[in-house]
Amino acid sequence: MFRKAVPLAMTLGATAVLLLLLRFSAAAAGPRMAAQPAAPTAVSAPATAPLTATLTCTGTNLLQNPGFEGPYTAYQYPPPGHPDCGGTDCERAQMPAGWHPRWLPDGAEPWIIMPEYTASTPDQVNPDRVRSGEKSLHYFSFFTRHESAVHQQVAVEPGSVYCFSAWGHAWSDRISDNFYSAPHDGRPNDDGELFQKVGIDPTGGTDWQAASVIWGPARQQYDFFGEFVVTATAQAPTITVFIWSRAEVPVKHNDVYWDDALLVLSETIPALAVFPLAIGAIGTPAQPATVTQRVAIDLTAGYTWTAVLSPTGSLTPTLSAAAGPAGAGLTVTLRTAGLLTGTYTTTLHISAGPGVVGSPASIPITAYVVAEVRQVYLPIIRGSSQ
């Protein structure tokens, strides 16, 4: 962003002009002369300032065996078992402790079968199939398709926000000339259109097809590990996390790898943002200006703000309040009556305490008192693409 002063031709037939520094994303064409108005006109600010409070995943990992480590054994499907397993003993599902596989059963859709679950190890390289530790969860379908969701249930605090993430990637290819995914020679359907995502059921259910599951975005993540993330508010003492994949095309290799899962309590970072970025007025001794400007204060819930003027400023506007809670705004009244010709400045400081991002925020306030002048220079914003 850069600021450029350009002449604004005017006759001071009104008492004030409000100067608002606004942001634009389009690139500027260069300086331009504003059309001469019959009188100065106030410029309106957007209704709210941009929200800067964010969520971040931090804290203790709540998952059992988040790295999919340890011995892999035949999964014991809850009674009465599963037809694809021939009962409760699922030899095709070799699973690590803490994780439970689910899948679309054989024949549920054309070319759909139960995938085979196993472990990958660090000796599988180019590309790496293990992100950290000694193992990753690996499952695959061969010349077929699959849809699978592996889950784990975790005890939590109802009403709290939780963040779940896992690192995953896929090998999806119609041939085996190397261990990287298609395309190779530009033929259609070289890969299996394999997508991955993660989800949370905030009610604690284990049905990955339930409407209550909140899913993060699905994407193709071939050959290299990428992080999949989702957040949700717990609605019960237990939530369920899912790692999911689906292959749409029955190519030779539809292989999925998961590693380094993480479930933590999400923490809100308190933040402060204010708008407008500057306030100003223009008046003459004969026609003093009065400007009343609403200041939007965007602050994380539960915090309070305070507002003070710089003690060294040459201007003393009136503030509607010296403090307020999150959600409350502030009105600044700026008057030039009684001031001699010249430029007067001060700074409004809005604070919300230590640890609040963006605090303190400062808004420069300027008053111009001029003699009878036909043309003055007003700062306006010219934007550049960022």
Can you read off the two tokens belonging to residue 211? Answer: 């409407």
Percent of the chain exceeding pLDDT 90 equals 58
Q: Is the link from the previous residue into 276 a cis peptide, with omega within 30 of 0?
A: yes
CB atoms near residue 66 (< 10 Å): 20
Residues found in the chain: 386
Calculate the alpha carbon distances from 43 to 46, 233, 279 in Å. Answer: 10, 41, 11
Residues 299-319: b if buried by 16+ CB within 10 A, e if exposed: bbeebebebebeeeeebebeb
Using CA atoms, how far apart are residues 345 and 355, in angstroms rounded to an integer? 29
Write the burial class of residue 12 (CB in 10 Å: 0-12 exposed, 13-18 middle, 19+ buried): buried
Start-to-end Cα distance in the chain: 8
What pTM does this model have? 0.58
Using one digit for the tens of pLDDT, what is the confidence trace for 15-29? 333 333 222 222 333
pLDDT at 184: 53
Q: Say how many C-beta atoms besides its own lie within 10 A of residue 351's C-beta.
A: 18
The DSSP code for 259 is E
Q: Which residues contact 80 (CB under 8 A, 6 or more apart)?
A: 87, 88
- 110, 109, 104: which is closest to 84 by C-alpha? 104
pLDDT (0 to 100) of residue 252: 87
DSSP conformational letter for 10: -
**Phi/psi class of residue 81: alpha, beta or left (left: φ > 0; alpha: ψ in -120 to 50)?**
left
Q: How confident is the model at residue 186, as a pLDDT? A: 56
Rounded-to-10 torsion of CA 339, 340, 345, 349 = -10
pLDDT at 15: 32
* Largest interatomic CA distance in the chain: 95
Contact 322, 307 (CB under 8 A): yes
CATH of domain 2-53+270-382: 2.60.40.2310
pLDDT of res. 12: 33
**Under-70 pLDDT residues of the chain:** 1-58, 176-179, 182-189, 268, 373-386
Return residue ranges of the chain for CATH 2.60.40.2310.
Answer: 2-53+270-382
Distances from the Cα of 86 to the Cαs of 148, 345, 382, in angstroms? 18, 82, 70
Q: Where does the chain hold its CATH 2.60.120.260 domain(s)?
A: 73-268
pLDDT of residue 1: 33
Residue type, 24: F
Q: Which CATH number fits domain 73-268: 2.120.10.30, 2.60.120.260, 3.30.465.10, 3.40.5.10?
A: 2.60.120.260
Q: Tell me whether residue 123 is exposed, middle or buried, using C-beta atoms within 10 angstroms of its C-beta: 0 to 12, 13 to 18, 19 or more.
A: exposed
